[in-house]
Each structure stands twice: as structure tokens, then as C-alpha cells.
Amino acid sequence: MIDVNQRIVRRRRLCVALCGCAAVAGCMVGPDYRTPPAPPTDTYTATPLPEQTASSPGAAGLPQRFMPGQDIPAAWWALFHCEPLDALIRQALVNSPNIAAAQAALQQASENFSAQAGGTLLPSVDAQLGATREKLNGVAFGQPGVVDEFNLYNASVNVSYKLDVFGGTRRELEALHAQVDYQRFQLQAAYLAMSANIVTAAVKEASLRAQIEATERIATEEDEQLGVLGKQFDLGGVGRTAVLAQQTLLAQTRATLPPLQQQLDQARHQLAVLAGKLPSDAALPEFKLEMFSLPETLPVSLPSALVQQRPDILAADAVLHQASAQVGVATAAMYPQITLSASYGAEALTPAQVFKAGSTIWSLGAGLLQPVFHGGQLSAQKRAAEAAYEQADAQYRETVLLAFQNVADSLRALDHDATGLRAQTDAWRAASDSLELTRGQYRVGGVSYLSLLDAQRQYQQTVVSLAQAQASRYADTAALFQALGGGWWNAAAPATAATTH
């Protein structure tokens, strides 16, 4: 990508130089684009966020502090301190077909811009060689009896230049350059989506592994309990209903494992594809929750900076810029168009005489085209371009609103996740203590087997829910970084840079 970016920079400088030269030809009709201002707000949520989230025991229960105005690192996923995750993302950056497609789209837009810039702002020069065999009839000259056949050879250089008096050509280049910006930000959006999807899929895999391990451990304990009940039944200590109830509980526990295994396989397959590998041949690390460290400091970009950082907002801004330039193109089409042309060469009856004295030919010309009547076509095209601009403006505002919603949702989710994990930890601890106490009471005949069965079910639910709550804190932390734009502007050699309008 560095070579592609260098070419883009060189072409941009060329475009600036050419536009500077072309500016002497005249003004540019149509609106001069300005990026819409950021929304007038200094907060994302209706009510203030706490300085830090709630805490609970365990690595996933650490409190997180919100740091407004702090910048986001480019490799934000490194804040989870998981080297296998870092390695997988590095692999995906190289092998991802989505990234390759976005890079190719960027290069295509860049080449289209370069082709148009070189072919419209500068005069076109063509060399021409020709040889024809002709037969003339004297009737055209008032001499019916004269018929002549001869060869004609010519060599010439032709120059033509369309004066960009009203800026239509420069507006077309402006629109093409906005398309380049759009593809550049689409590339950054692809980087951001890929890295965020990998982090989310890795966390999901870790959560599923924790749920599977907890379920298998519970199934083992329930199987041991079933063995005890079987012996008690043989001795006449319990009824058949207690054994059947325990068998049902064990079967229900084991029945939850295949769906969890299926989800785990799907998460692994998703990680393989995100990394650009086939699910059958991808050597992937096995992610577990203990492999991740929860970032304790959460940088939160200012609302005024969000519109300059989110790739989707910048891409929508580029679309709006392109629509603005197209209004200028449609407006310029209603004004006169001036074309200059010149030709210099030689023409003779034999090839040897083409470059001899006396065979020189030349011409100079100028043309002016003034649209007079097109059945309302040009006016309709201008109104259509203005409507397209209004549509792009509405879509830009919608993109900004959704971006602020994403950030607000993520911030609130992190606060609620921490509170929910603390409550879930308390529920797990209470269910664990209740199960131990009920088991002890059951051994001495203090409670019925139904009480023990109910305590086992409650414990099973809290164990699985605890693993899910722990994973939510990691996943929603990644969602916040994604919602804020991912920090691509801090890369050492960023694939794009925000365009100043």
C-alpha cells in the first residue's frame, strides 16, 4: 500500500499544479464545497458517565476509567495484551480478500483520476501518419472527362485544447478526486471492520470455551451425584423418582453442549475466513478468556473529533463532496465551450516527398459551442445534480447520527456490563454457596432431593451466565474502539489521511 499511497500523493500534487495553471482560464461555476460542521455537542450521552465503571473480582471485573479527549492508538487491539490475537490480525492484514479488494478499488479510482487529469487540463497532442489511394472525377470541378487516380501521403502533428473557462473540467476532476477519497476511507473502514470482527470473534470463542468447560464440569458433578443416588436407591435410601430426576438433569446439561460446540466451530471458521484462510487449513490459536487483559483506561474522542476520525463519516463526506462537484459540472454544461486546435505537417504524392520543402501544411482553429435549445435537458440535469447533493447531505447527516449512537451505545454498554458482571458474580457466589450448603444438608437428611435439584439448576445457570458476562466486557470494549474510529490516523504510515477541504 505504501507505493500506491506515494503515487496518490504525487498525482494529487500534479492535480494541484494543473488546476493552478487552469485557473487562469476562468472561474468555476457551482458551489465551492465545505465539509459540514460537527454537531454542536460536547457529550455522547444524555446523562453523564461515571468516572469509572463498577468493579468485581477477577481479571474481567477490573474497573475501567473513561478518559475524554484522549487519543486512540492505531493498533488499539494491542491494549488487550494478547499476542496470539495480535499475530492473527497481522496475518489478516496480509491475507484478507476484503482488504485486497478495497486496495484495488482505491488504485482504480486513483488511476481514473490520473487519466482524467492528464487528458483534460493539458492540451492533447497526436502524431498522425497516413497513406490513401484516391480516384477523382472531374465532374466535381466542371470537367467531366477528367479522371485521375493517385496516392496521397501525409504526416502531421495535431494539437487541441478545450479552454476550461467556466470550470466544468475542474469540477469533474474535483468529483473524481472525491471518489479517490471515498475509496481511501472505504479501505480504512475495511481495516477497522476486519480488526474489530477478529477481536469480537476471538472473545466469542473464549466465552464459548468457558461455557463449554463449565458445562462439562457441571455434567461431571451431576454424573457423580447420579452415581451416589444409584447406590442410595439400591440400598432403599431414595426413591426411583430422585434417580430419574437426576438423570433428566444430567441429560439436559449434556444437551446444551452440542449447540455450544456448534457455535464454537462457527466462531473458529469465522476467524479463519477473516484471516484469509480456509477453515480446513487454518492453524488458529485457541482463545480463552484468561488470555485477554481488560484495558483499564478507555480513551474517548471528543464529539467534535469523531466526524474527522470515523471512516464511514469521512466516506460519506467524500460522497457529499462528489455530489457538490457534479452540481458544478451540470452548471458549466449550460455555458459556452471554447476549443482551440492546431495542426502542422506535410502532404505529398510519394513518401519521399513528404518531408521535402513545399509539402508543408498547417491549420489553426477555434470553436465556440453555446447551448441554445436542448428541450430542457441541461436544466433538468442541473436540478437532478442538486437533488443528488441534497440526498448525499441527508445521508451524511444520517451517518453522523448513527455514529454518535454507536458511541453512546458502547459507552452505556460498558457501564452496564460492569454493573451486570458484579451482579452476576454475586449471583454465582450465592448459587455456589447455596449448592454446597444444600448438598451438606441433603447428606444428613435435612432437605429433600428436590431442593438439591433446584440448587444444582440455579448454579448451572449462573456459571454459564458468568462466562457470558465476562466476555461482554471485552467485546463491548472492542465495540467502543470501533465506534470511535479505531485510531487509524495514528498509524506510522497510514493508508489514508483525512482530506482538508
The pLDDT of 338-347, averaged and rounded, is 90
DSSP assignments along 135-178, one per residue: EEEGGGGT-TT-EEEEEEEEEEEEEEEEE-TTSHHHHHHHHHHH
Q: Write down the residue that cell numbers 476509567 correspond to.
A: 65
Say if residue 402 is exposed, middle or buried (CB neighbours under 10 Å; 0-12, 13-18, 19+): middle
pLDDT in tens, 303-323: 999 999 999 999 999 999 999
Name residue 361's beta-bridge partners. 345
The pLDDT of 442-451, averaged and rounded, is 82
The whole-number pLDDT of residue 381 equals 92
pLDDT in tens, 165-222: 898 889 999 999 999 999 999 999 999 999 999 999 999 999 999 999 999 988 998 8
Q: What is the pLDDT confidence band of residue 496, given thresholds at 50, 70 and 90?
A: very low
Calpha distance 461→253 (Å, rounded): 10
Q: With contact defined as beta carbons under 8 Å apart, do 276 and 190 qualify?
A: no
Name residue 126's beta-bridge partners. 158
Strand, helix or coil at 342? strand
Query: What residues does CATH 1.20.1600.10 cover in the chain?
Result: 2-120+167-334+383-490
Q: What is the pLDDT confidence band of residue 140, given thresholds at 50, 70 and 90?
A: low
Strand-pair category, 297-300 with 65-68? parallel
The whole-number pLDDT of residue 500 equals 37
Q: What is the pLDDT confidence band of residue 6, given thresholds at 50, 70 and 90?
A: low
262 residue type, one letter: Q
pLDDT in tens, 69-89: 888 999 999 999 999 999 999
DSSP assignments along 252-280, one per residue: HHHHTHHHHHHHHHHHHHHHHHHTT--TT
The whole-number pLDDT of residue 21 equals 45
Class of domain 122-163+336-370: mainly beta
The 10 Å CB-count burial string (b at 16+, else e) for 373-384 is eeeeebeebbee
Q: Is the pLDDT confidence value at 324 over 60?
A: yes
And the C-alpha cell for 186? Answer: 472505504
pLDDT in tens, 257-293: 999 999 999 999 999 999 999 998 768 999 999 999 9
The whole-number pLDDT of residue 146 equals 65
The whole-number pLDDT of residue 17 equals 45
Calpha distance 481→98 (Å, rounded): 20
Q: With contact defined as beta carbons under 8 Å apart, do 336 and 369 qualify?
A: yes
pLDDT in tens, 90-114: 999 999 999 999 999 999 999 999 9
Calpha distance 238→82 (Å, rounded): 51
And the C-alpha cell for 227? Answer: 452415581
Calpha distance 355→384 (Å, rounded): 54
Q: What is the 3 state secondary structure string of 17-74?
A: HHHHHHHHHCCCCCCCCCCCCCCCCCCCCCCCCCCECCCCCCHHHCCCEEEECCCCCC
The pLDDT of 338-367, averaged and rounded, is 87
The whole-number pLDDT of residue 493 equals 54
Q: What is the pLDDT confidence band of residue 494, given thresholds at 50, 70 and 90?
A: very low
Phi, psi of 309 (to 5 degrees): -120, -35
Q: With contact defined as beta carbons under 8 Å apart, do 243 and 230 qualify?
A: yes
Q: With contact defined as beta carbons under 8 Å apart, do 174 and 499 qualify?
A: no
The whole-number pLDDT of residue 65 equals 95
Query: What residues does CATH 2.20.200.10 cover in the chain?
Result: 122-163+336-370
Q: With contact defined as beta carbons under 8 Å apart, do 105 and 183 qualify?
A: yes
Q: Which CATH architecture has domain 2-120+167-334+383-490?
A: Up-down Bundle (1.20)
Q: With contact defined as beta carbons under 8 Å apart, do 346 and 360 qualify?
A: yes
pLDDT in tens, 372-411: 888 899 999 999 999 999 999 999 999 999 999 999 999 9
And the C-alpha cell for 436? Answer: 454446597
Work out the percent of the chain whose per-residue pLDDT is above 70.
Answer: 91
- Give the helix, strand, coil percentages of the chain, each rounded to 5: 60, 10, 25
Q: CA distances (Å), 133 to each of 148, 151, 344, in order?
A: 11, 5, 22
The whole-number pLDDT of residue 242 equals 86
The whole-number pLDDT of residue 145 equals 65
Looking at 32-41, 78-87, 350-359, 401-410, which range is the least confident one? 350-359
289 DSSP assignment: G
